Each structure stands twice: as C-alpha cells, then as structure tokens.
Amino acid sequence: MSNRLKFFIDGQWVDPVRPALLDVIDPSTEEAFTQIAIGSAADVDRAVAAAKAAFPAFSISSREERLALLERILAAYNERIDDIAEAASREMGAPLPFARDSQATSGSAHLETTIEALKTFAFSEKRGTTMIVREPVGVCALITPWNWPLNQIACKVAPAIAAGCTMVLKPSEIAPITGVIFAEIMEAAGTPKGVFNLVHGTGPDVGQPMASHPDVDMVSFTGSTRAGVAVAKAAADTVKRVAQELGGKSANIILPDADLEIAVSKGVAGCFGNSGQSCNAPTRMLVPAERHDEALAIAKTAAGTFVVGDPRSPDTRLGPVVSGMQFDKIQQLIEAGIREGATLVAGGPGRPENLNRGYYVRPTVFGNVTNDMTIAREEVFGPVLSILPYRDEEEAIAIANDTVYGLAAYVQSGDIGHARKVAARLRAGCVHINYPAWDPYAPFGGYKQSGNGREYGEWGLHDFLEVKAVIGYGE
C-alpha cells in the first residue's frame, strides 16, 4: 500500500517534508511486515495550516451536510471492514475473529451512534432574551493509541465532524496501518479538503508539536497517564482545551450474593480480553475473604481455557501483546507480584511453553493480593489478574476507590438494588453491573488520573463545541 509512505494533508497524499521511515512490527513474529513514513514538526505545520484554512467554511456547514458526510464515511468504512480487521491483527496481534467482531466493528458503531446523536443534537437554545449557541471549537489535534486503534479514531473523528471542526490525526506509530485505511476511507467519502488530515510519527516528534501548536484549539488524547500529562503541559502555554482518556486500574467487586462461579469466570475473561490491553479492564477482582480460595480455583480453571498463539489460528483466544517494550514491562510486573508475596495461581513469567518467539504472555492470575502491592497499584496492560480478599462491603468499596485512577469499576450481585447502591459509591466514570453488553451510547471517560471529558454518542460532541451566549438576542 503506497499510502503507508505518505501523509494525508489538504485532501491529498503527500510525501513528508524530511523523509524518514519506521518499521511496523508484527508482534506474533517480532519481525517488520511493512514500513510507514514518520513526520516532524514541519509536517504538523502543513497539516494544521490545511485544517485552519478549511475551518471557516466547514464550521458553518449545515447539520444536513455533516450528516450526509458521516453517512458516506460509514458506508466507505463498512466496505473496508475486512481490510481493517486484517490490519489490526497484523499490527497489534489481535486474533482475526476478535479483530473483525470487536476491533473493526467498534469504529462503525461510533459512526452510527454519532449520526444518531447529530440528528437531534441541540446546537442552540433560548433562555429568556439570551440565545445559547454551541459552536465548533476549531482545529483539533487527535492523538490515538495502539490498543483499540479504530475505536479511538472513530470516537474522536466522528464527533469532531459532527460538531463542524477540522482536525489533524496522529495514530499510534506502533499500530498505524488502520489509521492509513481510515484516511483512505475519509478520502473515498469525499471529505472536503483540509477537514481531515493525517500525519504519522512519534509522540515527541509529532504529538508534542500538535499539542503545543498555536493554531490548534483543542487536543483529544487517549493513552497513558504519563503521556497525557506531557500533552497537557505542552498545551498549557496556549491555554487550549485538552480532553484526555488515560489509564485505569479497575476494581471488580464480587458481592457475597453473586454467583461466584459465573462472576469469577466472566471476570477473568473481562481482564484477559484484547490480551489484557484495555484501559477499562477489570484487573483487580475483589472477593469475600471467606470464599477467596474458592475464587482462586475458579479463576485457575478459567485462565486455562485461554489458548495463546498465532492470531491467524482459529483456536487462539489470546494473541501476543503489542511490542517488546510492553512484553518486558509485563514480565517485570509479574516478577514483582511474585517477589512481593502474592500467590501465583496461573501463568507466570515467560512465554507459554509452546511458543519461542513473539510477544506472548502467559495468562496470569495472582491471589492473596493486597492493595499496596505493585500489581494492584500499577496498570499492567497485559493478561494479568489480581484477586484481593475483603472482609466486608465497606472494605471492598474502600479498596476499590483506593487508586489514583477512576476510569471504570464493576459490581457483581444477585440483587440489582444492592448492586446499584454499591455502584453509587464508586469513584469511576463508568460502572458496570453484572457484565452488561458494551453500550456505545454511554458516556466514556474517567475520574482522577484517568482523565477528563467524555466520549461516545452525544457525549462525544460536547468536547468539540464552545458555548456562546448572545445576550439581548430578543424575544
């Protein structure tokens, strides 16, 4: 695909200002399967200039024009579903069925929910003699991660389009090919030139110049809390808006009235999904102390059902983690769990026995974890579950909230009223009761160091809009 060596700027594919290439690694083989061009501040300048020039006209486009554009984007996206799934599997190691049914389709779901939200969204309302107007914020820098590449691209690009903003996208340089395909989709849909622009590159070389650029009005960033802090600092000098979806260390409280077999088994699956590489994964399982050993036995059995292997094999449930750096970090944290005295229930250090290359991690479960242990405090971002015993409900809630993060939390109970009361006390942006289906209409975002702002559906539009009061507008 020749477009992998170019950027999409001002409606056309262009060469970088200063040619430079980066290998894209297949994590199942540890070998490069393609290359991309990577950019610099000079490429950011070109892309931002294109977005700035396009903003005056696009910002006053009608709701109907933006709806028509989003519908064309959705149609073009659906035509490329198989390409997206194959790219996600190659660049991040997702098993092919998961890459198609979860990774690829999450993007179309966000396009669909944004279209529905835009149809009825109130861009103005009259209060007395004052008119309240919601207007596009301006040129937006969109910086997206490698773990759910199309999910995060679509849930930023779609509301930015709906709001009337123009944008520059920097996909993760670790998983960039899905971003190239998305840019081709935007081109195929007839997106007006300059409205959508794409530049590849690293965080320091492209992300930071985007965040600090004086002609960028807003930054929407998804990634680690560490990187989010750097983006916010870069944006501070120009006092631009920053929306962040960052890390998590989500607690999963299994109450005494829950079905322990179901709750623990589904909790293991929730933690291990996407090879554990989800910021909202339920990685801290809290169980009643008197049933702790029983929970460990259930978790060990559940972990044993996760076949790790080649993403292209139909038997595989867990592919590799995304990179050598990520693999090494996970290994260090598993070693820390053992060193600090947690009980190793399943998995452990190293690759699974049948695999001698690829960034494969053994599905790992720890028991007898206390909330001061490293594996309970730090985001592992791999298939590693910590099980913590609690004495009573008050202690469970205290442990759940004892974290710098607040992205998600989970409650399992046989009594929905009981679960709702516990959910009300958890300091997290998304609380899931009894493992519900994913809801792309629900606001997604976190408390504390998990970020600020909300994405998905109508909630995603708000960060891309300014509020103007026209006072004295009249009756």
Which CATH number characterizes residue 461's domain?
Answer: 3.40.605.10
Give the domain extent around 76: 2-246+450-470
Domain count within the chain = 2
Whether 444 maps to a domain, the answer reads no
Whether 475 maps to a domain, the answer reads no
On whether both 219 and 268 belong to a single domain, the answer is no
Whole-number pLDDT of residue 429: 98
On whether both 20 and 139 belong to a single domain, the answer is yes
Choose among 139, 106, 115: nearest CA to 66: 115
On whether both 314 and 461 belong to a single domain, the answer is no
On whether both 431 and 458 belong to a single domain, the answer is no
Whether 132 maps to a domain, the answer reads yes
On whether both 227 and 341 belong to a single domain, the answer is no
List pLDDT tens digits, range 337-362: 999 999 999 999 999 998 999 999 99
Whole-number pLDDT of residue 97: 96
Whether 52 maps to a domain, the answer reads yes
Are 54 and 136 contacting, i.e. CB atoms less than 8 angstroms apart?
A: no
Whole-number pLDDT of residue 2: 78
What is the number of residues in the chain? 475
On whether both 272 and 413 belong to a single domain, the answer is yes
On whether both 390 and 335 belong to a single domain, the answer is yes
On whether both 75 and 222 belong to a single domain, the answer is yes
On whether both 353 and 426 belong to a single domain, the answer is yes
Whole-number pLDDT of residue 466: 98
For the full predicted model, state whether its pTM sits above 0.75. yes
On whether both 59 and 186 belong to a single domain, the answer is yes
Alpha helices in 22-138 (DSSP H): 41-59, 63-79, 81-92, 96-98, 105-120
On whether both 379 and 291 belong to a single domain, the answer is yes
Using 70 as the pLDDT threshold, list the residues of the chain that sit under it: 1
Residues serving a catalytic function are 245, 279
Whole-number pLDDT of residue 475: 82
d(Cα 58, Cα 66) in Å, to the nearest integer? 9
CATH (domain of 298): 3.40.309.10
Which neighbouring-strand residues pair with 465? 136
Question: Whose structure tokens read 């969109």?
Answer: 142
Whole-number pLDDT of residue 310: 96
On whether both 144 and 257 belong to a single domain, the answer is no
Whole-number pLDDT of residue 305: 97
